[in-house]
């Protein structure tokens, strides 16, 4: 596999690849070698930059790939970030080459997911009803502080620094609360639209099955959030999740991946979900496998 990946990347026209330019005499590495290193390691389940760095010392195939040089984890991470789009395109080209050369035989794929922690604390979650209460309280606090600031200015016995800072702090917090409520309301409306479409489709099928069935009026779903729904003030896109009843809650995302289960173990598709459960992620994982690299015949998945 290492020989295949080296030759595949070597033959690609990739003029937009960028190297790390520190301007400080730091050691540089050929960009195609760095790209080959990342593709090979990702295909073998090594994703951490620190683990890739260790593999340049421990893994004989990786040492062969890097010509026994050892990029540090900062260099690896910076290269990935600077060339993210190029890497995605190159990875797909490698899959096409693997398919055409029969290294990759898409037929049976394996799908699984894992929770990846967000860069946010679960303690920064706020309930919809609580956010409303805090918003009203903060509005009162801001008004009181404004009144106090006005009185202080009239007395002219203060340096004028502390009160405006307090007002600004409360205004920022109030803005976060309002944004959290708006996000929860948008989620509820999106759910309601999806539910409405589902109900209309269900009613249409029932009507087709029985000509005697009268048209029933479909009650529109609720488009407002439940009081218990929560939003995170630091990362509104993340969700509160836990793997099972024995685990604690974390502020996370649900990352899914599909790989070739037959020979190569190459990654065929991936996506990130906001759902704590894997129950609705199987179809997207399978459908995201590019048709141009092969047709999925069987899928291996766990009970989740």
Provide the CB-side half-sphere exposure for 251 (13 A, CA). 18
Q: Kindly report, residue by residue over 148-174, the tens digit of the pLDDT.
A: 666 666 665 555 555 567 767 777 767
Same domain for 212 and 177: yes
115 in a structural domain: no
Domains identified in the chain, total number: 3
Q: What residue numbers bound the domain in which 202 lies? A: 125-232
120 in a structural domain: no
What is the pLDDT confidence band of residue 257, given thresholds at 50, 70 and 90?
Answer: very high
Q: Kindly report, residue by residue over 96-125, the tens digit of the pLDDT.
A: 888 777 777 778 899 999 899 888 888 777
Residue 63 has pLDDT above 90, yes or no: yes
- Res 111: pLDDT: 92
116 in a structural domain: no
CA quadruple 38, 42, 47, 53: dihedral positive or negative?
negative
Same domain for 259 and 225: no
Same domain for 53 and 38: yes
Q: How far apart are CA 226 and CA 232, in angstroms?
A: 15
Q: How far apart are CA 128 and CA 222, in angstroms?
A: 15
- Percent of the residues in the chain that have a pLDDT greater than 70, as a whole number: 76
Q: How far apart are CA 36 and CA 64, in angstroms?
A: 11
Same domain for 226 and 161: yes
Q: Which of 191, 208, 232 is the last residue in one of the domains?
A: 232
- Res 3: pLDDT: 92
12 in a structural domain: yes
113 in a structural domain: no
Same domain for 196 and 258: no
Q: Kindly report, residue by residue over 194-240, the tens digit of the pLDDT.
A: 777 777 777 777 666 665 555 556 666 666 666 667 777 778 888 88
Same domain for 266 and 244: yes
- Res 71: pLDDT: 93
Same domain for 207 and 130: yes
- Res 18: pLDDT: 75
């Amino acid at each position: 596999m290492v020989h295949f990946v080296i030759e595949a990347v070597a033959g690609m026209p990739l003029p937009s690849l960028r190297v790390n330019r520190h301007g400080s005499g730091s050691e540089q590495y050929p960009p195609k070698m760095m790209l080959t290193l990342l593709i090979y390691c990702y295909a073998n389940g090594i994703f951490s930059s620190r683990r890739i760095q260790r593999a340049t010392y421990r893994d004989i195939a990786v040492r062969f790939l890097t010509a026994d040089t050892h990029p540090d984890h900062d260099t690896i991470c910076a290269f990935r970030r600077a060339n993210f789009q190029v890497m995605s395109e190159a990875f797909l080209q490698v899959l096409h080459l693997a398919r055409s050369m029969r290294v990759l035989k898409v037929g049976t794929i394996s799908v699984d997911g894992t929770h990846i922690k967000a860069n946010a604390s679960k303690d920064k979650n706020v309930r919809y009803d609580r956010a409303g209460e805090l918003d009203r309280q903060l509005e009162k606090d801001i008004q009181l502080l404004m009144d106090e600031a006005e009185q202080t200015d009239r007395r002219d016995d203060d340096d004028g620094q502390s009160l405006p800072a307090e007002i600004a702090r409360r205004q920022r917090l109030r803005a976060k609360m309002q944004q959290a409520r708006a996000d929860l309301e948008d989620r509820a409306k999106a759910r309601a639209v999806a539910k409405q479409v589902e109900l209309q489709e269900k009613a249409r099928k029932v009507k087709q099955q029985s000509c005697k069935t009268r048209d029933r009026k479909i009650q529109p779903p609720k488009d407002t959030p439940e009081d218990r729904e929560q939003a995170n003030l630091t990362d509104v896109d993340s969700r509160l999740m836990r793997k099972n009843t024995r685990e604690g809650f974390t502020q996370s995302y649900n990352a899914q991946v599909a790989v070739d289960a037959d020979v190569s173990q190459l990654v065929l598709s991936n996506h990130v979900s906001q759902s704590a459960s894997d129950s609705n992620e199987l179809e997207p994982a399978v459908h995201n496998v590019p048709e141009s690299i092969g047709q999925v015949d069987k899928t291996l998945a766990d009970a989740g």
